[in-house]
Amino acid sequence: MRFNISCVLLLILMPLALASCARTPAVRHPGGPRIVSTDPSATQILLQIGAGRTLVGVSPWDKPLLPPSMRNLPVVGGYLHLDEELVVQLAPTALILQQAPQRIQPGITAMARQNGIRIVNIRINTFHQLFSATRTLGGISGCRAQAAAAIKALKAKLKILAGHSPKNPPRVVYIISTRPIMVVGADNFMDQEITLAGGNNVAQRCGNGFPTITRGTLVRLNPHVLLIGKPGQPAASGPDDPRLAPWLALPVAAAGAKRVDLITWPQAQMLTLHVAHLIDRLRRLILAPADAGGAR
């Protein structure tokens, strides 16, 4: 089964608490792009192309990732529980979603049509989709040139990274959720990141997207490097961090060599224009000396 990584993270990291409200007439606002984003990846891309000024509303998952000067932006809810009344009051020119088209609630579509709001439903699960989404976001924000320049710069960086792959890449398993154990499989941006960082993602054989596996399967995969995703959590205190203990006890090569790492970077499981920086950080972990495990 294929999963959209942003939707997976929303279900893992936070409960949804905002209910839909009745519609009220829109308030008049100055002209120019006004964007409400319910997808953290899209929000970050808008910031990265210099279009932060166009944001007028965000999701609850955006708040911790915004610069301090923008953390007072109204929170409109998430993709399942959107505060339609607030959206109408904000009078956006565009509402960004990242959801399967057939799962968009009819009320959201009707609200957008009645109030002249463009629904921009993006998908950001591969590098190709990142480039396409960036062009779309550049268009709706009035930052087309900045978006094109950012895409060109990123493609150049990725080309350089692709030219520095080791001859014998270490076997890597990247766990994005521990209960149940959900890993980075094939055909998604995190799989691409592992490859460009110099690793061999052996969990590709478990399926596309982000498949769920058992501990027995993890042992059979026998990774040289085991990455445990804990985005937004405190960095590990060292190899004795209790969050590492269950994984260091496994009979796998990574545990024996102390090559088990917590990935706590806030945007580690998001695809944005800063992906080359994340790949550089992953490369330092994946290709580190065998006794350098822990959390970095």
Q: What residue segments make up the domains of the chain, in order of their start?
A: 15-157, 171-286
Look-up of token digits 């006004």: 34
**pLDDT for 20 beyond 80:** no
State mean pLDDT over 98-125.
92
State mean pLDDT over 244-261.
96
Query: Which pLDDT value is given to residue 296?
Result: 42
Each residue's pLDDT tens digit, 123-158: 999 999 999 999 999 999 999 999 999 999 999 999
Each residue's pLDDT tens digit, 160-184: 999 888 889 999 999 999 999 999 9
Please name the residues in contact with 152: beta carbons below 8 A apart, sequence gap of 6 or more.
Answer: none
Domain 15-157: give its CATH code. 3.40.50.1980
What value does the mean pLDDT of the chain take?
Answer: 89
Domains 15-157 and 171-286 share a fold: yes
Q: Which of 250, 217, 227 is nearest to 173 (CA)?
A: 227
pTM of the model: 0.85
Could you give the percent of the chain with pLDDT greater than 70?
87
Each residue's pLDDT tens digit, 80-93: 789 999 999 999 99
CATH architecture of the region 171-286? 3-Layer(aba) Sandwich (3.40)
Please name the residues in contact with 37: beta carbons below 8 A apart, sequence gap of 6 or more.
Answer: 43, 46, 55, 57, 58, 59, 62, 96
